[in-house]
Amino acid sequence: MAGLTGTPFQSGAMDKDQGISKAGNKRVRSLSIELAWLWLRHQPDSQLTRWFHDYVGRSKSRVKRKAITALARKLLVAFWHYLEHGVVPEGARLKSLATAEPAA
């Protein structure tokens, strides 16, 4: 659905990954990437944010682009677990309705 999976390629003895599949919905893919960047900004203490920073370290932008796609996929799975089973992603902070700011 989201198209955030790898595209394998095999030819003889060669076996490699060609990158992220473009088979899914383009809007879902772009929104999930944007959501991943927002997650990093607003959930700095979560386990997924720590995973991203541990993976990226002090790397260049190419590694960050690959890692943000992986984080987006992990977030989609984590949100699915939250919706289906009520499992909040580890370290995520939730606002209660009583402390949420009213919409203007």
- For residue 10, the enclosing domain spans 6-85
Q: Is pLDDT larger for residue 8 or for residue 104?
A: 8
Distance CA(49)–CA(43), nearest Å, equals 7
What is the pTM assigned to this prediction? 0.73
Q: Is pLDDT larger for residue 15 or for residue 47?
A: 47
Share of the chain above pLDDT 90, in %: 42
100 lies in some domain: no
The total number of structural domains that make up the chain: 1
91 lies in some domain: no
Residue-wise pLDDT tens digits, 1-40? 565 666 666 777 777 766 666 677 788 888 999 999 999 9
- Tell me if 43 sits within 8 A of 93, measured CB to CB: yes
92 lies in some domain: no
99 lies in some domain: no
Quote the pLDDT of residue 71.
Answer: 95
90 lies in some domain: no
